[in-house]
Chains A and B, each alone.
Chain A
Amino acid sequence: MSKTKTKKLGLEQLQRIIDLCSSVEERGLDPFLVDVDDIIKIVKEFFPFWEKPEELCLDAEAINRLASVIKLQGEWVRHRSTSLYTDPFLLGEKIQKLDNESLVEIFLKVWRPIVELEQISPHSFLEAVKYWSQLLPLEERWRMPEVSEFEAGAVSRSDLIKERFLDEKTFAERLEALWEELKNRVGKDEKMLYWDFIGAETFEETMWRAYFTSFLVTYGYASLEIYPFENKVYIKPNEKPVPLSKKRNVVSVPFSISFEEWKKWRQQRGD
């Protein structure tokens, strides 16, 4: 048989296996209808012919479906070995032969309905009344906000910057500027204390500097040196940005920048 014909036959066989396993799985048929050994033999026989991704996918799908059937077979054996196993046909026969009264009589012997109450307590009643009295009428809650009409006009870029809708510099420009500043401020040690670098006259400016500094470090413009025993953190500018992918041990270091810490830093500086 030519290779093409064998491949075609093999693909048909795989599709048939998938369909059989799916029907067993979905329709709750006896999983032992599937002869696992036989299927594995077929899958093995045709496996050397598969070259294209879609052929290999079909092969994988067949194995996956077969695994599900094997799982069902395991469950079936487990269920049969439990005390709950009953032959469904025998039970079906019994159910058909019993009249409703007998079935009810049986059921009432094993039925222990849950006892539960739904009752409002005086406390929850008072809470509900309090809530109701404080609740605004729907008319007020759903009232649309009053809006007045304005004529559309043009806004200049400088106005947008003034209103803080736009930033004066781009993000990249800010990072570059901060990097240059760091390079200029470090002394012969080529590093400086982290807090001395991010600290500014106002807390708001300090937060901004800490925010951009985090990107300086992340993007490889600078690196941190941490001395936990001395409780000191230094920042060191890199000559060229070093991408994260080229660094070996990359760790995230969280810094807490609180108003109290900023005040403490200012006091230490003697401001």
Chain B
Amino acid sequence: MASAKRGLSKKAYYSRKVKRAAHLLFFRRHRKPGVKGWELRKKLGADYPKVLKLLDNYLARLDLKVNVVFEEGEQVQGEPIEKMKPEQLDKARFYITLRGDLTPTEAKMMGWRIDDIAGLAITISYIISRKGKVERKEVEKILKEKLPGWRAEANIDRYIRAGYITQDEKGFLYLDWRTKAEINQKTLVDLILGKEASPQSAD
């Protein structure tokens, strides 16, 4: 790194690396979005956690963040990237995600109907509650209580295509890579359990 920085000032060196990291993370390079840690190390050098930290600081102003998802699907909350173990980081996948909350209007602008998002919330939380595995027909039954039958089935297919859930040959649904990357599962369940039902809709 010292030799690389010889002709450049430290600031210029990291500025160039941050730009390169933004290109790597924003533009989809593989079938799935995101970049693996080892790939970032290869392209940005051994000090890539520092580069990502700088990029994360910059993105914070735009309400975006560099998100790390470990191999087991566990999201990293709170711990700074540069303090994580290198071997852990190499196997992790890095994404750029939204930092703050979306408003329902913004979600609609992304092409999601309110019913679709509610269905996704139900599907994911139900799978979590059943230890990560549930029969498709069970989820369909819950969705059909509030959505027309054809829409419930089409929605499940849509969630599968988007990578939120996956289905095996026996018809069981599991959480997939996008849920692990985008959703804080524990907070979702806690919020659902803690939320009081509105008087109109309660039995």
Contacts and interface: CB of A to CB of B under 8 A. Distances in A.
A90 interface: yes
Contacts of B122: 95, 103
B192 A84 contact: no
Contacts of A94: 192-193, 195, 197
Given A108-B101, A115-B96, A100 B146 contact: yes
A86 interface: yes
A138 to B, nearest CB: 27
A28 B195 contact: no
Interface in A110-156: 110-119
B91 interface: no
B120 interface: yes
B160 interface: no
Contacts of A88: 126, 129-130
A100 B188 contact: no
Contact of A115 (B64, B103, B200, B203): B64
B104 A83 contact: no
A84 B125 contact: no
Interface in A36-53: none
Given A28-B130, A28-B135, A97-B202, A91 B192 contact: yes
Contacts of B201: 97-99, 102
Interface in B155-203: 170, 172, 178, 181-189, 191-193, 195, 197-198, 200-203
Contacts of B27: 116-119
Nearest to B96: A115
A162 interface: no
B11 to A, nearest CB: 26
Contacts of A103: 117-118, 121-122, 192
Given A114-B34, A116-B26, A92 B142 contact: yes
B33 interface: yes
B48 to A, nearest CB: 19
A248 B5 CA distance: 60
Q: Is the interface of B mostly helix, strand, loop or mixed?
A: mixed
Nearest to A116: B33
Nearest to B145: A96
B96 A116 contact: yes
A113 B125 contact: no
A105 interface: yes
A163 to B, nearest CB: 49
Interface stretch (B36-44, B79-87, B107-115): B107-115
Nearest to A107: B121
B134 interface: yes
Interface string A175-204: 000000000000000000000000000000
A246 interface: no
B195 A99 contact: no
Contacts of A91: 125-126, 129, 189, 192-193
A239 to B, nearest CB: 58
Given A88-B129, A94-B193, A109-B101, A104 B203 contact: no
A141 to B, nearest CB: 27
Interface in A56-102: 75-76, 79, 83-84, 86-88, 90-92, 94-102
B98 A108 contact: no
A94 B193 CA distance: 6
A84 B142 contact: no
B50 interface: no
B95 interface: yes
Given A84-B128, A94-B192, 8 more contacts: A28-B172, A102-B197, A103-B121, A104-B121, A109-B101, A112-B182, A115-B98, A118-B27
11 contacts: A28-B172, A75-B131, A91-B192, A92-B142, A95-B192, A97-B202, A98-B197, A103-B117, A111-B107, A114-B33, A115-B64
CB-based closest 10 A-B pairs: A107-B121, A97-B197, A100-B118, A112-B97, A99-B201, A88-B129, A91-B129, A103-B118, A116-B33, A106-B191
